[in-house]
Amino acid sequence: MVDIATRVYNHKWKIDPIVRSLIDTDFYKLLMCQSIFRNRPHTRVTFSLINRSTHVPLAELVDEGELREQLDHIRSLSLSPGESTWLRGNMFYGKRQMFRPDFMEWFENLRLPPYHLERRGDQYHLSFEGSWAEVTLWEIPALAVLMELRSRAVLNRMDRFELQVLYARAMTKLWEKVERLRGIEGLNLADFGTRRRHSFLWQDWCVQALREGLGAAFVGTSNCKIAKDREMEAIGTNAHELPMIYAALADSDAELARAPYDVLSDWHEEHDGNLRVILPDTYGTKEFLDKAPDWLASWTGIRVDSGDPVKGAELAIEWWKSRGEDPRKKLVIFSDGLEVDNIIALHRRFAHRVRPSFGWGTLLTNDFRSLVPGDALAPFSLVCKAVSADGRPTVKLSDNPEKAMGPRDEIARYKRVFGIGEQERIPVTV
C-alpha cells in the first residue's frame, strides 16, 4: 500500500532544504540576539565566511546554483507559531520568559537580510551586511548549509547501498565513543555541533544517541530546533562576537581595553545563574582575568575555547582563588576541539577541582573521518565571523595565534592595548 499523497508531497519539492527553521540554530545566538536587540539596536555589521581548510575547494564541490537556492530558502523562513510559543513559554536554565515580549514580537516578523555570494578561485566569498541583530542569525545556518552541501556533493556519488553502509559505520563509530564515555562518574556533556554538522538528520541522530547512551550525563543540545522537537534542554551562553564588536566600536584605547568587560556588564544585568559564563580568550585569557573587575569572579563559570585547555582551566582556578572564590563551585566548560580522549583526560584532571562540562562539537556531529575514499567526508574548519562593525574592522586574538583574525596593524594595536606577549601556536583542524 503506497501512500500516494506522501509520495507526491515528497516529490514536489524543488530542493531538499537543509535549514528548515529559524530556530535550527544555536541557543546562544538567540540569547545574544536579544542582548544585541536591547543594547546595540543600531549597530551595522558585516559577517564573512572563512574556510580555514583551504585544501577543501568548496566552490568546486558545491554548485553555486544549489548554494543560492539553499540560502534563498533560509531567507524565506520565518518563526512559526509553534516555535514562537516554545521560545515564549519554555523554561531555559530554570527560568521562564527568558525571551521578552518586545524581542519576540520583533523576531516573529524577522526575515534574514540579503547575502552576497561570489566565487573566487575554488572558494566562495559569502558575506552578510546589515543590522547586527539580524546578521548575527545568518552565522549558523550559513555554516550548516555549506557543510551539508559539501556532504551531499560526496554522498551524491554513492549508491543506496553504500549509503546504508556508510551510516551504519558512522553510527557504530559514534556508539563506540558513547560506550567509552558512559559510566564516567559525574560527566556533563552537551552537543555543540550544529555549525559543523554532517547534516541535520545526522545531528539529530547523534543527539538521540547521546541521550540514550549517556542518560543524565548528557545535559542537552545547543540546537533549539532539536531541543524543542526532542524535548531536551537548550544549552549555550555567549560568544566572541560580543566582545569583538564592542571592541571594534570603541573610540579610544581606553574604551577598547574596557570593551570586553562592558559586554559582560550588559550580560550581568540580563542573566544570572548558569548563563553567567565568562568567555575570556577573545583578547588573551590571562590578561583578561588579571584585569577583570571583582564582580566577574562571582560569575558561575568560564568557557575554555582556545589554546591549551589545561592551561586555560588552571589559569581560571588560580584566578578564582586569588579573588577569594572556591573553584570547586565553578563551572568550567571546555568547547574547543573535543574528542573522547581529551574529554576523558580533562574530566579526570578537573573533576574534583571544578565542575567540568563539555560542549562537544565537530567530532560529535561530523566524525566521518576515514569512512570514504580520499577522506572526502572528513570535517573541515569553516567559520562565519563578524569582520566589521559600523565600518571598523573587528579583531580576535584568542589564546592561539592560529585562530587570530583582523587587519595586521589592528592586531598589533590590540596586542599592545591588552598587553599580549608571545602565544603558543596550536594547529587548528576542526
What's the closest the beta carbon of residue 166 comes to a copy of itself, in angstroms?
A: 9
Q: Dihedral sign, CA of 206, 208, 211, 214?
A: negative
What's the closest the beta carbon of residue 86 comes to a copy of itself, in angstroms?
A: 22
The Cα–Cα gap between 115 and 78 comes to: 17
What's the closest the beta carbon of residue 405 comes to a copy of itself, in angstroms?
A: 39
Check if the beta carbon of residue 147 is closer than 8 Å to that of residue 382.
Answer: yes
Q: Which is nearer to a copy of itself, 106 or 205 (CB)?
A: 205
Binding mask 175-194 toward a copy of itself (x if CB under 8 A, else -) reads x-------------------
**By CB under 8 A, which span of 38-46, 69-77, 93-101, 168-176 interacts with a copy of itself?**
168-176
State which amino acid sits at residue 40.
Answer: R
The Cα–Cα gap between 180 and 148 comes to: 28
Bridge partners for 331 per DSSP: 301, 355
What's the closest the beta carbon of residue 173 comes to a copy of itself, in angstroms?
A: 9
Check if the beta carbon of residue 164 is closer than 8 Å to that of residue 189.
Answer: no
Binding mask 142-161 toward a copy of itself (x if CB under 8 A, else -) reads -----------------x-x
Total residues contacting a copy of itself (rule CB under 8 A)? Answer: 20
The Cα–Cα gap between 348 and 328 comes to: 14
Instruction: Tell which positions 188-247 bind a copy of itself, by CB under 8 A.
Output: 208-209, 212-213
85 near a copy of itself (CB under 8 A): no
What's the closest the beta carbon of residue 368 comes to a copy of itself, in angstroms?
A: 14
277 alpha-carbon distance from chain centroid:
15
Instruction: Tell me how crowded residue 317 is: count the other CB atoms within 10 A of its CB.
Output: 19
163 near a copy of itself (CB under 8 A): no
Q: Which is nearer to a copy of itself, 88 or 173 (CB)?
A: 173
Among 61, 117, 153, 171, binds a copy of itself (CB under 8 A): 171
Check if the beta carbon of residue 394 is closer than 8 Å to that of residue 385.
Answer: yes
Q: Which is nearer to a copy of itself, 5 or 216 (CB)?
A: 5
Residue owning grid cell 560527566: 187
Check if the beta carbon of residue 367 is closer than 8 Å to that of residue 203.
Answer: no
Among 9, 54, 269, 329, binds a copy of itself (CB under 8 A): 9
Q: What is the DSSP letter of 114?
A: P
Among 80, 164, 265, 298, binds a copy of itself (CB under 8 A): 164
Q: Which is nearer to a copy of itself, 12 or 352 (CB)?
A: 12
Check if the beta carbon of residue 403 is closer than 8 Å to that of residue 285.
Answer: no
165 near a copy of itself (CB under 8 A): yes
Q: Which is nearer to a copy of itself, 6 or 252 (CB)?
A: 6
106 near a copy of itself (CB under 8 A): no
Among 169, 230, 268, 413, binds a copy of itself (CB under 8 A): 169
The Cα–Cα gap between 138 and 91 comes to: 25
295 near a copy of itself (CB under 8 A): no
Residue owning grid cell 531538499: 16
φ and ψ at residue 99, rounded to 5 degrees:
-100, 125
**By CB under 8 A, which span of 67-75, 95-103, 163-171, 400-408 interacts with a copy of itself?**
163-171
Residues 6+ apart with CB under 8 A from 237: 28, 31, 271, 274, 275, 276, 277, 279, 303
Check if the beta carbon of residue 200 is closer than 8 Å to that of residue 19.
Answer: yes
What's the closest the beta carbon of residue 234 comes to a copy of itself, in angstroms?
A: 21
Check if the beta carbon of residue 225 is closer than 8 Å to that of residue 189.
Answer: no
Q: Which is nearer to a copy of itself, 62 or 155 (CB)?
A: 155
**By CB under 8 A, which span of 85-93, 171-179, 247-255, 405-413 interacts with a copy of itself?**
171-179
Among 66, 113, 167, 182, binds a copy of itself (CB under 8 A): 167
C-alpha grid cell for residue 41? Answer: 539596536
| DSSP per-residue codes, 235-260 | -----THHHHHHHHT-SSHHHHHHHH
**What residues make contact with a copy of itself under the rule CB under 8 A?**
1, 3, 5-6, 9, 159, 161-162, 164-165, 167-169, 171-172, 175, 208-209, 212-213
